[in-house]
Structures are given as structure tokens and as C-alpha cells.
């Protein structure tokens, strides 16, 4: 576990220092906000906004790989689920999406995977370029877990496309290996409503909440073992304190006197 902690610490240090070296504030003049809040706060706001836009790829993905490496046999980020899909599987996916959209059926991932598996090599096999898998994990008994990492407050309308992506990943995996034990899930790294429970009702009609969604502690403890989430928060705090002088120095250079 010490090795994973050191890896996470290195990821955080490198991500922040890289941001300091390469971040160029956009020439956006906000005279009212600047006069009301101050140049220093506006500079900080701009930096945080820029950091948040790619927090998933620059921080959450590499951190997830570092944590999962102690528990899983194989870990990858920005991986490809596959390059082929059967026309029959595409039709099954469309039928699933139509039924969910019309609220004719509830999402049941086990049944959906079974339906796709039954036709995963039926009909014409077509080349596809599915959405990249943010975090791809293989357990020691060869069970696959493919995660799509989303922001803490995804747009409600986006869950329809999220669901399609999860189903297409499943079809691509099964087109290559019809007997594969595959799980495709949405991961939300933290709960913005804490200490209240995460508001899941907005996605209940599209996602099988027990089998397609892991939020905050559920996600981190799943990939890293019990206590991983709490340990991760402690690491973030520790690195933030360690780099505080560098952070303060960076903003001092970018604030007009």
C-alpha cells in the first residue's frame, strides 16, 4: 500500500506543477467581478475552473490506476473496449434504449448483458470506434470492469448517452470474447451533496443503480479496498499543504500589483 500512496502523491505533485508551468489565463476581462472580489481571488477562480475542466484525465484517472494496481491484475486508462460489434447487438442495444426511454422496462444490467451476449456474433460484424474507457480493470479471475468517469453533477439528459456507451462497450468486449465476464459502469469520484446521500433518482430510469453506478467511497473502496477513499482524501490534503508555498508563489507572480 505504501507504494500506491507514493504513486498517488507523485501523480498529484506532477499534475499541479504541470498546470503551473503550462497554464495561461485566458484574456477574459471581468471588471465588475475583479473590483468586487479582488484580482487575487479572480486569478484563483480562473485557475480552479481550468483545473476542474480536465481533473478527470489529469488526476482521477492516473490516481485510480495507482490505487487499483494493488488489487487488480491489469489496469489501463483511455483504453479501447474493442473494434468490432455485430449488427444484431446494435439492434438489441437500440431496443433496450427504446424501452428505457419509453419507460416500458426498468434497467436490469444482467438481463441486458445476456441479451447482447446471445447475439454478440450474429449477423454482420462491423468496425466501430467506441468511446474510450477511462479506467479499464481486469481482476485476478479475469473479470472485467470498465469505468466511465463523470463529473460530480452530470447533466440529467446525458445519462441516455452514458447508458448507450456502457452497452456498446459490453457488445464490443463480447464480440471479441463471447464468454467474457464484463461489467461496465459509471463512476462519480465524489458526492457534492455530502453528508447527504448522492441524488440518484435522476438516473434511475436509465441506469441499473446497483450494477452500473459507483459514487465517491463506493468507487474508490471498490478499486482500492476498504479505507481507500478516506486515505485518498488524506493524501490530497497532505500534498496540498506540502505544495502550498509553490501555489502561493505561483499566484503572486500572476497578480497585478
pLDDT, tens only, 22-31? 776 665 678 8
pLDDT at 255 over 70: no
pLDDT value at residue 27? 57
- Give the model's confidence band at 256: pLDDT under 50 very low, under 70 low, under 90 confident, else very high: low
pLDDT, tens only, 190-201? 998 888 888 777
pLDDT value at residue 202? 72
Burial profile 103-126: b = 16 or more Cβ within 10 angstroms, e = fewer:
eeeebebeebbebbbebbeeeebe
- Give the model's confidence band at 257: pLDDT under 50 very low, under 70 low, under 90 confident, else very high: very low
Mean pLDDT in the chain?
Answer: 90
**Lowest model confidence (mean pLDDT) among 4-8, 74-78, 144-148, 183-187:** 4-8
pLDDT, tens only, 96-105? 999 999 999 9
Yes or no: say if 223 and 71 are a contact pair by the CB < 8 Å rule.
yes
Average pLDDT over residues 38-52: 80
- Entry pTM: 0.90
pLDDT, tens only, 127-136? 999 999 999 9
pLDDT value at residue 117? 98
pLDDT at 92 over 90: yes
The domains located in the chain, with CATH, are: 1-71+227-257 (no CATH), 73-224 (3.40.1560)
pLDDT value at residue 236? 95
Phi, psi dihedrals of residue 135, rounded to the nearest 5°: -135, 120
Find, among 171, 181, 191, 231, the residue nearest to 211 by Cα: 181
pLDDT at 1 over 70: no
**Lowest model confidence (mean pLDDT) among 9-13, 19-23, 93-97, 155-159:** 155-159
Q: Which residue is associated with the grid cell 456498446?
A: 168
Amino acid at each position: 500500500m505504501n507504494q500506491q500512496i507514493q504513486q498517488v502523491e507523485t501523480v498529484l505533485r506532477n499534475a499541479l506543477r504541470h498546470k503551473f508551468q503550462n497554464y495561461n489565463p485566458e484574456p477574459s476581462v471581468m471588471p465588475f467581478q475583479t473590483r468586487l472580489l479582488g484580482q487575487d481571488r479572480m486569478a484563483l477562480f480562473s485557475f480552479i475552473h481550468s483545473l476542474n475542466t480536465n481533473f478527470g484525465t489529469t488526476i482521477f484517472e492516473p490516481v485510480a490506476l495507482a490505487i487499483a494496481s494493488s488489487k487488480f491484475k491489469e489496469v489501463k486508462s483511455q483504453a479501447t473496449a474493442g473494434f468490432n460489434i455485430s449488427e444484431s447487438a446494435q439492434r438489441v442495444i437500440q431496443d433496450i434504449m427504446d424501452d428505457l426511454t419509453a419507460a416500458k422496462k426498468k434497467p436490469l444490467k444482467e438481463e441486458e448483458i445476456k441479451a447482447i451476449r446471445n447475439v454478440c456474433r450474429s449477423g454482420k460484424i462491423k468496425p466501430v470506434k467506441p468511446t474510450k474507457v477511462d479506467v479499464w480493470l481486469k481482476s485476478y479471475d479475469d473479470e472485467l470492469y470498465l469505468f466511465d468517469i463523470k463529473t460530480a453533477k452530470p447533466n440529467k439528459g446525458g445519462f441516455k448517452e452514458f447508458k448507450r456507451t456502457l452497452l456498446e462497450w459490453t457488445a464490443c468486449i463480447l464480440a471479441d470474447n463471447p464468454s467474457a465476464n464484463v461489467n461496465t459502469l459509471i463512476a462519480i469520484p465524489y458526492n457534492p451533496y455530502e453528508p447527504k446521500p448522492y441524488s440518484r433518482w435522476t438516473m434511475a430510469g436509465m441506469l441499473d443503480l446497483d450494477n452500473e453506478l459507483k459514487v465517491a467511497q463506493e468507487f474508490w473502496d471498490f478499486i482500492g479496498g476498504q479505507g481507500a477513499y478516506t486515505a485518498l482524501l488524506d493524501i490530497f490534503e497532505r500534498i496540498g499543504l506540502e505544495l502550498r508555498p509553490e501555489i502561493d508563489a505561483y499566484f503572486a507572480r500572476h497578480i497585478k500589483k
